[in-house]
Amino acid sequence: MSSALVIGNSDGIGLGFSKKLLKLGWTVTGISKSESPIQTGSYRHYIADVNDREYNHRLQSVLQNKDQMDLCLYCAGIGELLNPLDMGKEVETIDVNLTGMIKTLAVVIPAMVENGHGHFIGLSSVADEMLSPEAPAYHASKAGMSNYLESLALALKPKGIYVTNVRFGFVDTKMAKGDVKPFMMGVDKACEHLLYCMAKKPVRYTAPKIIIPLTKFRQYMLKLKTL
């Protein structure tokens, strides 16, 4: 039976994807800051915060009794608009979105390499290519995620480990902020894209495709403002 670890799955995409895997017959282990609504024998849930100093030890203890881990999805994330009078959220955004993912990788990848197989999927964003005066920390964290994941994919493929950088546009979750949210995608549709990534294991996957030229145009307009 295939086994998955989902980080950040008490709601949103993480919760939806966990349910999809369970329906497909997978065993799923979830880790998030709050309780999970999932109640089934094939599911185990642990409460942990990726920002906590003991997070890596907690994750190691969760995984030490598992025979294998075929898939890990990192979808923990936050995104707040910039408040120049209180920059605390800027630090927290980088810590959760980028540092938390790398802390997870530091535990998960060695175990996958020892087993000789595994697939890590990180949820980045098309924001990784754009400057943003509204949410600089969010965009910077996603740029770091994308760069790291795709670089890691090159390093690990010869060892039989796949890494996929998933770049979504707006998804209908609490993370979606801003007055304009073009081509909003539902959670169920986002999960279908993730199932495709599981099957095909691309290094980079962007959805919806139509949003790619829009992000490039917005980036171009922002650069014009700086001239």
CATH code of the domain containing 179: 3.40.50.720
DSSP state of 158: G
| pLDDT score, position 158 | 96
| pLDDT bucket at 169, cuts 50 / 70 / 90 | confident
Coil vs helix vs strand at 227: coil
Asked if pLDDT for residue 30 goes beyond 60, the answer is yes
Q: With pLDDT > 90 as the criterion, what percentage of the chain qualifies?
A: 75
| Cβ atoms of 123 and 168 closer than 8 Å | yes
Asked if pLDDT for residue 143 goes beyond 80, the answer is yes
| pLDDT score, position 223 | 56
Helix boundaries (H) for 71-210:
88-94, 100-115, 136-156, 187-200
Q: How many domains does the chain have?
A: 1
Mean per-residue pLDDT of the chain: 89
| pLDDT score, position 176 | 46
| pLDDT score, position 64 | 86
Q: With pLDDT > 70 as the criterion, what percentage of the chain qualifies?
A: 85
| pLDDT bucket at 215, cuts 50 / 70 / 90 | low
Cα 71 to Cα 225: distance, rounded to the nearest angstrom: 43
Mean pLDDT across 6-15: 94
- Greater confidence (122 vs 180) lies with 122
CA 148 and chain centroid, separation: 12
Asked if pLDDT for residue 65 goes beyond 90, the answer is no
- Greater confidence (177 vs 168) lies with 168
| pLDDT score, position 122 | 98
Paired sense of beta strands 161-168 and 118-125, if any: parallel
Domain, as residue range, for 156: 3-226
